[in-house]
Amino acid sequence: MCGKHYRKFLPYGYVISRENALCPNCLSLERHRLLWLFLQERTPLFSDSLSFLHIAPEICFIDKFKKLKNLNYKTADLESPWADIHLNVENMPLESESFDVIMANHILEHVEHLDKALSEIFRVLKKGGWAVLLSPINPEREKTYEDSSITDPIERERHFGQKDHLREFGRDYAEVLASAGFSVEQIDYASTLSEERVKRMAIASDDISNITNHVFIVRKP
């Protein structure tokens, strides 16, 4: 993403460390580099005049998006000091239908009320607007698993995979997103890239066509 070249990236991972994952310069991970290519090749984000809300902004993207003159780009976060707007995604102090594009990755597994977060993203998007909502998915799970009675961090890690996760998404992730009224596109984009490119950009840590590498785009009708 940053244009630097290395023999390989740094290992990274919370529970299991993955080889060749983290760029030491821009801190991009596999999923960021995949999304970066996707956004350039499959969306009008780099060309159209768009208002863009980036929630819990990944540091590797911020400067890149800020430089795009076609965007009216705002970052938002619960507490991050570098965010333009401080907000809780479950109750956003933003006007309805005020953004063309929203990106909120690896957030939905942390929020207290998933339905509230999704309905807020739906509300703030303009009609015809779209959002990138990537979350960790356990491909072994058919249905998303959530139990609000589990509050102990150790138990949350045992049940949902991480101490601050409140649920674990399954292969029904697209249906979960659709339940908020969105039309959902689940795109196996990584499989369309050449093997050489996947390897060079270190885009996927496991089987390339796995749901964990899919891009989920939701659209407000």
State both tokens at 219. 């659209």
State both tokens at 28. 């991009």
Q: CB of 26: closest distance to Zn ion in angstroms?
A: 3
Report the amino acid identity of residue 28. S
**What is the rounded distance in angstroms from the CA atom of residue 26 to the CA atom of residue 99?**
27
Considering only 22-30, 89-97, 113-121, 149-157, which stretch makes contact with Zn ion by CB under 5 A?
Answer: 22-30
Considering only 17-25, 108-116, 146-154, 199-207, which stretch makes contact with Zn ion by CB under 5 A?
Answer: 17-25
Report the amino acid identity of residue 55. I
- Interaction of residue 25 with Zn ion, rule CB under 5 A: yes
- Interaction of residue 2 with Zn ion, rule CB under 5 A: yes
What's the DSSP call for residue 126?
E
Applying CB under 5 A, the site for Zn ion has a residue count of 5
Among 23, 29, 102, 108, binds Zn ion (CB under 5 A): 23
In contact, 218 and 130? CB cutoff 8 Å = yes
Considering only 2-10, 47-55, 97-105, 155-163, which stretch makes contact with Zn ion by CB under 5 A?
Answer: 2-10
Handedness of CA 18, 23, 28, 32 (dihedral sign): negative
Nearer to Zn ion, 26 or 29 (CB): 26
- Interaction of residue 103 with Zn ion, rule CB under 5 A: no
In contact, 132 and 216? CB cutoff 8 Å = yes
In the complex, the residues that contact Zn ion under the rule CB under 5 A are 1-2, 23, 25-26
